[in-house]
Amino acid sequence: MRVLGLSSGTSHDGIDAALVSFVPDGDDLRARLLHHATTPYEPALRAAIRAALPPARVGLGEVCALDTLIGKAFAAAAAGALAAAGPADLVCSHGQTLFHAATDGTLQLGQPAWIAERTGLPVVADVRARDVAAGGEGAPLVAVLDLLLLADRAGRRGALNLGGIANLTVAVPGEVTAYDTGPGNALLDAATLALTGAPYDRGGALAARGAVVTDLLDRLLAEPYYARTPPKSTGKELFNGAYLDGLLTGYAPADVLATLTELTAATVAAEIRRHRLDTVAVSGGGVRNGTLLGRLAALAPGAELTPTDGLGLPADAKEAVLFALVGWLTWHGLPAAVTAATGARAARVAGAVVPGATPLRLPPPLAGLPRRLRMY
């Protein structure tokens, strides 16, 4: 089965698309990445998304317009991927998160009907809400991919995604968990934009020229989120540009970025050490930040940090591949959320399915989850 996964993360810079072929093989699910591409948001749409993110207040008309505009953008990205890589049987769209707080719900925009209409394919969407309704955080969903990908591998293994928010999966038998550790690139990007006008600190070059401001770092580390016990998840509802208001005045830009880099490295490394992980597969945009990875390696010296590319999964494609997997699981009646990660009462099948051009006919549900995911 060929599933097209679509995602846009907390950096809200564009739409990732991954076309994946899934073939069940006994206890294994074999997966081949056929195509991966990123379609940047048009500048006006990205600006509108940024303007609607917390702590901004927007009206229902703006939300409705964004839902349509993002849906059309996802539909265009899907059509482009299919034109480049050939047909698919199903699309799974995560959409664009505009708000995420499990106690108040979670909101991903990008009306899937536009994708179904443009491609003629059925679309799985709204994949977090059911877990929230079952008492979970609705995040992180990536644990289902990480656990299948790392199954049966030796050592105390984990997976780390350094997106706007950093999340860690612990794939140690008997100790399985996953949660958001705190900011990944979110505060770094917000500070870079505010201080330099650039959207991000390429490669961590500016941070590398700065020095950590100890008193600023201490104030940032006092954030109560870090002391919360998992399951827990967070987003730009907390770690946004306004979070830094009043904190950056009087410091050189390079020193601010060095300090925020240290914040991400310190909070992630603390969790790697706490779980005594010896190998961590790393993905997300932070993989390209050499300064951040260098500090993380220094603060978690017992762990080998390796890109997920070594597991057959390109680090930049992981999020889109995740949602292709979520779509495959939903189509076959299997849950996508890991309750040890989200805290839900029980695992639920994720999302809703929007029919394509033909009547919807789902296959009989499979008996259970595969034990391993093999990328080939």
The domain locations on the chain are: 2-134+342-375, 143-311
Q: How confident is the model at residue 125 (pLDDT cuts 50, 70, 90)?
A: very high
Same fold for the domain at 2-134+342-375 and the one at 143-311?
yes
Question: What type of residue sits at position 183?
Answer: P
Q: Which residues of 102-127 are buried (b: 16+ CB within 10 A; e: fewer)?
A: beeebbbbbbbebbbbbbebbbbbbb
pLDDT value for 223: 98
Residue with tokens 């034990």: 371
- Listed in sequence order, the residues at least 6 apart from 134 whose beta carbon sits closer than 8 Å to its beta carbon are 344, 345, 346, 348
The domain 143-311 having CATH identifier 3.30.420.40: the answer here is yes
Q: According to the model, what pLDDT value does residue 206 have?
A: 98
- Domain topology for 2-134+342-375: Nucleotidyltransferase; domain 5 (3.30.420)
- Which is higher by pLDDT, 105 or 16? 16
What pLDDT does residue 161 have? 97
What's residue 229's pLDDT? 95
Q: Is the pLDDT of residue 54 over 90?
A: no
Mean pLDDT on 210-236: 96
What are the helix (H) ranges across 129-182?
A: 129-133, 143-150
pLDDT, one tens digit per residue, over 329-346 is 999 999 999 999 999 999
What single-letter amino acid sits at 319? E
